[in-house]
Amino acid sequence: MVYQVRLTRRALRDLAHIYQHIQVEVSLQASEWFAGLEEAIYSLEQHPKRTPTIPEDSKLRHLLYGKKPRVYRIIYAVVERAHIVDVLHIRHSARGRMPRRTVS
């Protein structure tokens, strides 16, 4: 079953921030890494429940992308009945747990 992947405004802002932060426009390596991040996000179209739930909220899941120390958490919700994956937030794993109000 194929799921539709939707990015929230916050996730789009996160992507824009990451894009600027790693200077994609001036580095081929950064450009390739960012393309891989986007590919990882859209890989959730297939088997979105393959990843674990997050400690902050058992209704949400996360997909990790990157290699230490540059690992990012793609936090998302699966709407099973509608076959939708809502990407809620993309954050650097070093930032630790999210406050409860941020997740909901």
For residue 23 the two structure tokens come to: 């200077």
- CA-CA distances (angstroms) from residue 98 to 9, 35, 39, 92? 18, 25, 24, 11
For residue 48 the two structure tokens come to: 């979105």
Place of tokens 């600027």: 20
pTM above 0.85, yes or no: yes
Structure confidence by residue, pLDDT tens digits, 50-103:
999 999 999 999 999 999 888 999 999 999 999 999 999 999 876 666 665 554
Q: Which of 41, 58, 32, 35 is nearest to 5 (CA)?
A: 41
Q: What 3-state DSSP class applies to 49?
A: helix
Rounded Cα gap, residues 11 and 18, in angstroms: 10
Give the CATH number for residue 57: 3.30.2310.20
Q: How many CB atoms lie within 10 A of CB 16?
A: 10
Parent domain of 14: 4-103
Q: How many domains does the chain have?
A: 1
Place of tokens 């739930």: 53
Structure confidence by residue, pLDDT tens digits, 26-57:
999 999 999 999 999 999 999 999 999 999 99
